[in-house]
Structure 1
């Protein structure tokens, strides 16, 4: 068990603040944003000071129907080695669907989507986790995700699903208490019940974050202060087990350093409050007073909770018990492709889903896609001004994400130019120059011949 302490999510925008903040024992960095050959100096300085750095992956799609991509696993393993991390984390989610398994176009969600809590999904997830663990040089922990919608005909609660996953694979768990709150608001699931059923002896660490209500649902934004109700769930968890680590996540709308430090203090106080509530003597599923004396985030043994009542058995499947069959992968793949297509391509909503919630999720995906493209290509909102967002959302409705965000930005700009937009000639000229500079395999050279070729391309682009 790795004792981490109290940490904060490292982001480039607050790198200096994190370095200067007292009492930060460890940080977590989004794995895909770290280039092994160019690790940010801030992370190197933190590591040299003895601050643990944990890479947190967002693109494996362990809950998807296909086996984890070997290239993505190798890239994640490389980041682990470069950062000298004691563990690595990912999500119990799917992020893409389609492709050869379903004989359909591959679609990207651009977001973490929940997997159905079914036997098929569990079998597939267990095998995918085993594949990932074998490819990674350190232990893997997987995170529960927030959901705006529910799958029909689920066979297990979240606690049962995660208990079986940990029991069958030995994987550790990263529990996000903000996601438990999200699922309470959006799906009517009791956080206390989920904590009761979770195998807390498998806990690697805990995430804490803020969110907001819109369209009648809770959005896990990581851009707002942590609400008291999430801190209460954290305290409840800490009353059941001494968490090896707790981390505050903030991805945007960063507050002043003092407010960020105060929020981290509130996280520590919630853990201390939970540990103080531990009853004397051993109690199934809870720590002891000795645990509390070890500190608010010390790693301490706890009596494992009794397993939750088993879910009703599903239909018999071929293959060895616990192994995901190819038939299960195909069934899961078809279900996930149908849902994702409805969310990003406007196809009919699959039977059993709440149409209103599908609409909310579709709008959330499109909005996030617009935000990410604006981050990847900040010149686009600078050139287009107030026209950027409505124009991009219209683009997103007609073109699902298939080739990554840089390709998406280029396709968006090309589509506007073909329509003779924007109406302002100077803005249109700037957009054309931006697109021409980036649409080729390499930056445009500045030789006379290149200038002639560029002029010819401009003529073609005007037609």
Structure 2
């Protein structure tokens, strides 16, 4: 396994808080969503941070390493390009699937628009290990993969989260990005003990740690990245720091950005949690000697694991596992976004919560990528979009989703106000073809003629 990069304390860089991040004291590094970075046109804020010596890590969200298909070569090339442009020492992605269907299942391809959990089974592990190896070969720097938060649990799982991650690291040599907020989410939503997960993890494989906020509603924890960090999340961070010194810790915030002073207060709370954990770890070392510490976060009575340094090969061919995983993931995603029957063994109520969350996220993201749509539709935007999403799964990403939504409204005659309907039509025409509508020769000629006539 490659040498660990010591990062320190960081914060997720977002355009909305770029200026504040530049002024924050004690920021050693930042993380940027890879898909939001254009290598040829880096934001000036990121350029200035890099010039000051602040490390920038690209964090991918669209590879779908936990999906049944092999990683897309184009997405891997794009991720590698961002690594080179940012001069990053490592790159991160998620242990999740984000799309399903297609050739492996002979069904229409579907997009989740969200990170969905993979089943902790041997099939899923075999596929994930091969996908990680493919990604590692294509990327110019070490890869670290993140555990995700989940509202739902797969039936028939064969491993705990800690066991699953340990085997992944052991077989591939991949590093781990441990999100303690996601451990808390899975504690509330899936009754999983975060301390047990930490005890089973190969802590020596940790690249860095995420900390984020969320909220609880009706017994479900929502990992929102839009609320303050909860005390239980900080307690898990302290537990982790009592076992190992994490190379880096980062605060994530994606929405509802507070004043910079509040973000700095959360960073201070993170540093305090780390200090409490470090003191506990050093106290154990002083009282018992380092040789008696739990190795890699495991209890001293546990059998000593093999340090995950040299990847090992899977014992069985992966192709049949891909086929089985593809069918299972397609059935689940179709139930979530297309309203097909819930696969056997899943909690129907919890799947309903997840489906509504996916629809709500689609509405939010489309509204951000195409802000003209909420402006044109006003208060009706969200209701129209949720009604559309219920029967129209996303198949080509959020930008395509925005165009399909506008086309649906126009064809169905759902926008009654004449001015709004005309605005929506012009917006759709401008973006729906390979060339913007306003640049097409016939349109330019018609507009030039109109200007001449108006001047007469």
TM-score, with length taken from structure 2: 0.91
Residue among 387, 397, 413 paired with 2:390 = 397
Higher helix share: 2
Match of 1:339 in 2: 332
Match of 1:313 in 2: none
Answer yes or no: is the 8 Å Cα contact 2:203–2:297 preserved in 1: no
Match of 2:191 in 1: 188
The 5-angstrom pairing of residues 404-415 of structure 1 reads 404-415=397-408
In structure 2, relative to structure 1, the CA distance for the partners of 1:165 and 1:432 (3 Å cut) is: same
Question: Deviation at 1:263?
Answer: 0.6
Is 1:275 aligned to 2:278, yes or no?
Answer: yes
Answer yes or no: is the 8 Å Cα contact 1:117–1:158 preserved in 2: yes
CA distance in 1: counterparts of 2:198 and 2:389, whole angstroms: 38
Answer yes or no: is the 8 Å Cα contact 2:200–2:298 preserved in 1: no
Moved more, 202-211 or 274-283: 274-283
Is 1:252 aligned to 2:263, yes or no?
Answer: no
Match of 1:2 in 2: 5
Is 1:352 aligned to 2:345, yes or no?
Answer: yes
Answer yes or no: is the 8 Å Cα contact 2:7–2:29 preserved in 1: yes
CA distance in 2: counterparts of 1:440 and 1:172, whole angstroms: 42
Match of 2:409 in 1: 416
CA distance in 2: counterparts of 1:91 and 1:57, whole angstroms: 7
Residue among 41, 44, 48 paired with 2:47 = 44
CA distance in 2: counterparts of 1:10 and 1:450, whole angstroms: 41
Residue among 352, 357, 363 paired with 1:370 = 363
Is 1:226 aligned to 2:212, yes or no?
Answer: no
In structure 2, relative to structure 1, the CA distance for the partners of 1:27 and 1:447 (3 Å cut) is: closer
Match of 1:147 in 2: 150
Match of 2:84 in 1: 81
Match of 1:442 in 2: 435
Is 1:118 aligned to 2:108, yes or no?
Answer: no
Question: Deviation at 1:307?
Answer: 10
| Matched pairs, number | 432
CA distance in 1: counterparts of 2:400 and 2:439, whole angstroms: 24
Match of 1:163 in 2: 166
User: What SS does the aligned partner of 2:290 have?
Assistant: coil
Listed as ranges, the gaps of 5+ residues in structure 2 are 305-312, 448-456
Match of 2:265 in 1: 262
CA distance in 1: counterparts of 2:321 and 2:446, whole angstroms: 53
Question: Deviation at 1:216?
Answer: 2.8
Which aligned runs of 4 or more in structure 1 are off by greater than 6 angstroms?
302-310
CA distance in 1: counterparts of 2:58 and 2:441, whole angstroms: 46
In structure 2, relative to structure 1, the CA distance for the partners of 1:451 and 1:327 (3 Å cut) is: same
Is 1:174 aligned to 2:177, yes or no?
Answer: yes
Listed as ranges, the gaps of 5+ residues in structure 1 are 288-301, 311-319, 455-463
Question: Deviation at 1:325?
Answer: 1.7
Residue among 417, 420, 423 paired with 1:427 = 420
User: What SS does the aligned partner of 1:277 have?
Assistant: helix
CA distance in 1: counterparts of 2:438 and 2:240, whole angstroms: 58
Question: Deviation at 1:306?
Answer: 6.9
CA distance in 1: counterparts of 2:299 and 2:205, whole angstroms: 11
Answer yes or no: is the 8 Å Cα contact 1:201–1:304 preserved in 2: no
Question: Deviation at 1:363?
Answer: 0.3
Question: Deviation at 1:356?
Answer: 0.3
Answer yes or no: is the 8 Å Cα contact 2:294–2:300 preserved in 1: no
In structure 2, relative to structure 1, the CA distance for the partners of 1:217 and 1:303 (3 Å cut) is: closer
Question: Deviation at 1:417?
Answer: 1.2
Answer yes or no: is the 8 Å Cα contact 1:124–1:323 preserved in 2: no
TM-score, with length taken from structure 1: 0.90
Moved more, 158-167 or 426-435: 426-435
CA distance in 2: counterparts of 1:187 and 1:303, whole angstroms: 22
Answer yes or no: is the 8 Å Cα contact 2:64–2:96 preserved in 1: yes
Answer yes or no: is the 8 Å Cα contact 2:14–2:32 preserved in 1: yes
Match of 2:22 in 1: 19
Question: Deviation at 1:215?
Answer: 4.2
Question: Deviation at 1:283?
Answer: 5.5
CA distance in 2: counterparts of 1:285 and 1:395, whole angstroms: 56
